[in-house]
Amino acid sequence: MTTTKIKINTFADVQIFVNTITRFPFDIDLVSGRYIVDAKSIMGIYSLDLNDAIELRAHTEDAEELFAAIGQYIVK
């Protein structure tokens, strides 16, 4: 599993984010506090507090391509 922190600023970004990550075959979760949601679920993401950074957990050891695709959302 590989993790990073992301920040999604607008509701329009949620749709773009989900469309981008759905092409990856492995599971991707978002963790905010005690809540864990499927990152490929628009409704799941809307249930999170988007004001703070969210932990992304990619269930793969090779997430370079994923991180390149979502680079604009990664908190540095």
pTM of the entire predicted model: 0.92
Average pLDDT over residues 45-53: 93
Q: What pLDDT was estimated at residue 76?
A: 84
- pLDDT exceeds cutoff 90 at 64: yes
Which CATH fold topology does 2-73 show? Answer: Histidine-containing Protein; Chain: A; (3.30.1340)
32 vs 53: CA distance, rounded Å? 8
pLDDT band at 18 (very low <50, low <70, confident <90, very high): very high
- Strands 2-6, 54-58: parallel, antiparallel or unpaired by DSSP? antiparallel
Q: Which long-range contacts (CB under 8 A, 24 or more apart) does 10-16 make?
A: 11/46, 13/73, 14/42, 14/45, 14/46, 14/50, 15/42
